[in-house]
Amino acid sequence: MNGKAIELLGPRFTGSVIEDEVMEPYFITCTAGSCYTVSKKRIDKYGKLKYTEICYPCTLEGCLNRIAKEKVNGDNGIKSYNSLREYVDSWQKTVDELSAALEKVKMKKI
């Protein structure tokens, strides 16, 4: 679901937008007051690209954790796994992908 999140947010949005292919269709916004939002891109009934806000974590790591949960549990929290091992493997793969993206950044706490 390609499309720049910044275009979805409109010209009045102020802050940062974080997009990465491993997070698709999710993206993160951060306002000047360091308030994070996890959002998901979607197509509305008219075929237009829109977004839905999912949650408001306190930290970047919290954002990534929520994105991992959303990706593993599927749209609207509905996804079927045939075994516990399959679920755990899916969780681990998703966490590894997101962790690798974050590790490349190696942010230091200030």
Give tens-digit pLDDT for 9-63: 878 888 888 888 889 999 999 987 778 999 999 889 999 999 999 999 998 889 9
Domain spans, the chain: 5-104
Give dist(CA 15, CA 31) in Å, integer.
Answer: 4
Q: Output the pTM of the full model.
A: 0.80
Check residue 79 and give its pLDDT.
Answer: 79
Beta bridge partners of 28: 18, 38
3-state secondary structure of 72: helix
So what's the pLDDT on residue 76? 63
Of 27, 8, 9, nearest in space to 18 by CA: 27
> In the numeric block, which tokens belong to residue 94?
């998703």
Do 50 and 41 meet the contact criterion of CB atoms below 8 Å apart? yes
